[in-house]
Amino acid sequence: MGRSACVRGLGLAALLALLPSPLLAADDDQKVAQDDRIAELERKVEVLTDELERTRSDMAVPESELESNWGLGPAASKVYGLTRGLSIGGYAEGFYTAVVKDKHESGEENRFDMLRAVLYTGYKFTDNIVWNSEIEFEHATTEAEFFQEGGSVSVEFAALDFLWKDPLNARVGLLLLPMGFLNEVHEPPYYLGTHRPETERRIIPTTWRENGVGIFGQLLGEKLSYRLYTINGFNAVGYNSGGIRDGRQNGSEALANDMAVVGRVDYAPLPWLDLGGSFYVGNSGQSQSFDGVKIPDALTTVWEMHAQVRTHGLQVRGLVAMDHVNQAGRLTRALGPDGTGDLDAGEAIARDMIGVYGEVSYEVLQWILPEHGGSMELEPFVRVEWVDTQNDMPSGFQADRSQELQIVTTGLQFYPIPQVVLKLDYRNKHAEQGAAGDEVNAGFGLVF
């Protein structure tokens, strides 16, 4: 090294030695602070990422196929698949009906209706405690429009489940009664036709819910399932010649002087075969009297049996249901013009009411467009049905034979995706007496 360079080096070292040490320390502190800020930002980003993932999971955004659990519809069952937190789902359906035969004779009109928009909300508190509910908006508005009654907003079910083990669990709240194919699983992609079968409207009657408590579970490796509830009974003041449908109390300040029991068993001996049945029994007078006229106990029994085959795109369903009203004659007199006046002159409540239907459908796109792999489906179907809410009358009363209907429904169900369905069908209706208008129906439905 040259002398001049050595001198310059010694001079620089001397200059640095003369600088105040706090200036050097400040530079080091600033670098450390900057590193700390970067580390803190990285930590916050990681926390936010985890929080967003947890929120997405808790909101149960449907990214996989919906599946039914514990007797409820697939969209209503989403909450059971959560680890914790909030679940949101729902369904909607609308239809257009054109009466194409006997329109004036039957008094029926063409209708275009946003029938339902439904929101499912549930919350999984723990692995064992689950809240689930359905809020339904019917007919688009609760206001009366153009001399129509208007729609309604209703709680369709609201249940708190205590899940213990597969064989034994408990449920309390406003419960969907476990009867038929549609009372619990009534989402539009999961039944055939724009309109539900009349047997499951008039005889069962769907959608039927009451306040109660009970147990449910699965046995034999999930081949056997059961539900058994104690609930408030019907209110017989609502019975009429069209059936027991208007006797449902639907959880709204329900009279509970008379309680009832409802139960169901389903057995699947093979993956493609389901067999089952259900029953309801309870008094329905609710200890009521009007103008000195006592409403009889009117013990009401409802039972149904059903079977279903599903394999390789083929679905076959069959169901028979029956209602029996004890003391139907006394009840008719109590509710007739000489009693409370709720029944019209000549109208009578039957002892026995019955309905039966069978239907078959087949998915054809698996052969026409096999490249879609089942994501898109087209199902032609046919349903044959007979229903009579005046099947057996009490002594001294005549049956209203206009309440006996034979209905043949043929149609198509198109699923662009599994959660959306478009429906088109023709309902040929024949009344034993009087006119019943044939219909062309078009509708849509969805679940999420």
pLDDT of residue 62: 44
Quick check: 227 pLDDT over 90? yes
Q: Is 250 helix (H, G, I), strand (E, B) or coil?
A: coil
User: Rounded to whole angstroms, how far apart are CA atoms 379 and 314?
Assistant: 9
Query: In terms of pLDDT, which residue wins out, 237 or 36?
Result: 237
Strands 420-431, 224-232: pairing kind: unpaired
User: Rounded to whole angstroms, how far apart are CA atoms 286 and 259?
Assistant: 9
The residues that bridge with 420 in the sheet, in sequence order, are 417, 446
Judged by average pLDDT, the poorest of 123-137, 367-381, 391-405, 411-425 is: 367-381
pLDDT of residue 291: 81
Question: CB of 438 within 8 A of CB of 408?
Answer: no
Quick check: 60 pLDDT over 60? no
The residue-averaged pLDDT of 29-53 equals 77
Strands 314-325, 300-311: pairing kind: antiparallel
Structure confidence by residue, pLDDT tens digits, 303-335: 999 999 999 999 999 999 999 999 999 999 999
User: Rounded to whole angstroms, how far apart are CA atoms 369 and 379?
Assistant: 13
Percent share of the chain, pLDDT over 70: 90
User: Rounded to whole angstroms, how far apart are CA atoms 182 and 193?
Assistant: 12
* Average pLDDT of the chain, as a whole number: 90
Which residues have a Cβ under 8 Å from the Cβ of 317 and sit 6 or more positions away?
181, 306, 307, 308, 358, 359, 360
SS3 content of the chain, % helix, strand, coil (to 5): 20, 45, 35
pLDDT of residue 19: 46
Largest CA-CA distance found in the chain, in angstroms, rounded: 137
Q: How far is CA 408 from CA 171, 355, 425, in A?
A: 38, 14, 10
Q: Which domains does the chain have, with CATH numbers?
A: 45-447 (2.40.160.10)
Quick check: 27 pLDDT over 70? no
Dihedral over alpha carbons 21, 27, 32, 37 (to 10 degrees): 140
Phi, psi for 418 (deg, rounded to 5): -60, -25
